[in-house]
Amino acid sequence: MSRLPLQQFELYHQLMMPLLQIEADLEPADNNIIKSHARTALVFTQGMREILDDLTFDYDVFEKLLFDLDDNYEIVKTEYATVNDLELKSIVDQLMTQMVKLQMEISDKLVDFKHANRA
């Protein structure tokens, strides 16, 4: 199975960040923009889970991604806790679920690496 280069990993990582760029107080007309970013983040989070085993393992990069995911999860959870739009709430709930699953899968890889490299 071929490995994805680190640059492609970084591209996927950067594409997951649009939610952080959105202000919490956008006007209702901009709700479609938020939904679009949430859908994009959901697709890339799911995609990242699918390709995780194909990525070239780099402990530091995976650890950074894990910390970033944790920070992003908390931001999404805080910013969208009181969303009234049912469609957006559904997308955000799915996104948060996928983020947790990705965090768990990355954590497993990090733990496996540490156990395999014990001296």
Residues 6+ apart with CB under 8 A from 99: 45, 69, 72, 73, 76
What pTM was computed for the model? Answer: 0.73
CA 99 – CA 73 distance, rounded (Å) = 7
User: Considering the domain boundaries, does residue 46 fall inside one?
Assistant: no
Q: Over the stretch 36-76, which tens digit does the pLDDT of each residue have?
A: 889 999 999 999 999 988 888 899 999 999 999 999 999 88
Helices (H), 1-119: 6-15, 31-51, 59-79, 86-116
> Which domain, by its residues, includes 83?
1-22+53-119
In a domain, residue 102? The reply is: yes
36, part of any domain? no
Residue 1 — very low, low, confident or very high, per pLDDT cuts 50/70/90? very low
